[in-house]
Amino acid sequence: MTMIACRLCGGTIEPFLDFGPMPIANGFLRPEDIATERRYPLEVGICRRCAMVQLLHVVPEQEMFNAGYAFFSSTSARMAVHFERFAQDVLSTWLPTAPFVVELGCNDGIMLRHYRRPGVRHLGIEPSANVAAAARGQGLNVIERFFDADVAQEIVEAHGPADALVGANVVCHIPYLDSVFEGAGRLLASEGVFIFEDPYIGDIVRQTAYDQIYDEHIYYFSLASIETLARRHDLEVVDVIPQAVHGGQIRFVLARSGRRRVSDRVAQLAATEQTQGLSVPRTFEAFRAAVERSRDALVGQLDALGAAGQRVVGYGATSKSTTVINYCGLHTRHLEYISDVTPTKIGRVSPGAHIPIRDHAEFRASPPDVALLFAWNHAAEILAKEASFRASGGRFLTYVPRVSLG
Ligand code: TYD
Ligand code: ZN
């Protein structure tokens, strides 16, 4: 068992789930690169002192986010709408007139573009070169950096304080989170807000959504752990807004301590977390047992389908699928291929198990009997899109919140 101190508070981490060596979750690779593929330990624990759930080992950034980074945000119609609403909410609820908005990890500009409007100044901070270039190509202001306290300082000096620092699916990716919070403390105007949304550990535990655990997600936030971290930087949580996207996230709104009214939702969520035991290691021991049961049920189901001669393909080459496929030992004998619509993923193979990624057109042309829904976070969108597949007898196999074939 590995013992590592908490990256944030130095407290003792109680490991609760070891997935073993895993390939890079979003490392969809060309068949010719299989020989050089590497694996890294994937193990998760909870800090006994600050309750932050976190990975015990971190994969070097350059292994995950480089020029070949395959993840472009703008592939899901629903997410595009979600980010437009996120931007509108920030502008209408939290900002003064003529605001300055900074976005962490703006990816290809899916949200940042909604801040490009008269009277609003915007700046994106994005370390991945190819997606940063895509954002710039739309005329957005982007600097190609990893955000930390030093970068925050440079931004304040060059552009003045920010009225909002926003981030979607990025804050939990940053190992030096303490420096990010320190940066927020330097960057924000006196009434400024730091608003971010990420996977929520409460949802992960409730839904046994263990596939949210992979190399890029270094932290799994609860209100309790974020409050502890915020306090150290003289920030406080003033609102928490649950989001249905990505299978359950929370949007945290932080402000300088005492500067903004605290929503009743904060105390309500604190009480819910207390009941759910989100700061207690025992809760995570039970989670691990549930994960093992989920794995056994999924493998059992796939073996049964295989024995019955059913054609099964994966649906959505998600990062999450890398955890499921490799933890459950799935193989080309379980899944013929994985269907996806992303041009940069098609023709590649999945990390670890090397299951081919094929164009969704092939799924349409020759529908399988069963589609294993790896992109379960987009279930509503996908079920609507695949109505004819289902009408002609095709079935979706899902595993969150439980293994079910429908
Ligand atoms: P994403 O939601 O980003 O999940 P993760 O963060 O785990 O990678 O990925 C969704 C994947 O599913 C992406 O590769 C695009 C694909 N996809 C389809 O192939 N068809 C669809 O209709 C949708 C919505 C997504
Ligand atoms: Zn800690």
pLDDT at 186 over 90: yes
Q: What is the pLDDT of residue 72?
A: 66
pLDDT at 3: 60
DSSP H helices, 77-148, are 77-89, 129-137
Strands laid side by side in the 338-340 sheet:
357-359, 338-340, 312-315, 370-373, 395-398, 404-405
pLDDT, residue 74, reads 64
* Cα 266 from Cα 278, distance rounded (Å): 15
At 406 the pLDDT is 87
Q: What mean pLDDT value characterizes the chain?
A: 94
CA quadruple 173, 253, 179, 161: dihedral, nearest 10: 120
Higher model confidence: residue 187 or residue 246? 187
What is the model's pLDDT at position 60? 85
User: Which position has the token pair 């989670």?
Assistant: 287
- Choose the weakest-confidence range: 88-92, 190-194, 326-330, 361-365: 88-92
Ligand nearest to the CA of 345: 1
Strand 249-256 and strand 235-243: pairing?
antiparallel
How many angstroms is it from 277 CA to the middle of ligand 1? 31
Residue 396 has pLDDT above 70, yes or no: yes
HSE at residue 348, side-chain half, CA atoms within 13 A, is 21
Closest CA to 196 of 217, 215, 170: 170
The residue whose CA has the least distance to atom 23 of ligand 1 is 76
Give per-residue pLDDT as tens, 216-254: 999 999 999 999 999 999 999 999 999 988 878 999 999
Q: Cα(190) to centroid of ligand 2, in Å?
A: 28
Task: Judge if the beta carbon of residue 212 lies within 6 A of ligand 1.
Answer: no
Cα 366 to ligand 1 centre (Å): 20
Q: What's the confidence (pLDDT) of residue 242?
A: 95
Spatial distance between the Cα atoms of 79 and 245, rounded to a whole number of angstroms = 8
Dig out the tokens for 302 from the structure.
Answer: 């796939």
Q: pLDDT over 90 for what percent of the chain?
A: 89
Higher pLDDT, 96 or 54: 54
Please report the atom of ligand 1 found closest to the CA of residue 341. 19
Query: DSSP letter at 91?
Result: I
pLDDT of 69 above 70 = no
Spell out which residues have Cβ within 5 A of ligand 2, the ion: 6, 8-9, 11, 47, 49-50
Contact, 279 vs 205, CB < 8 A? no
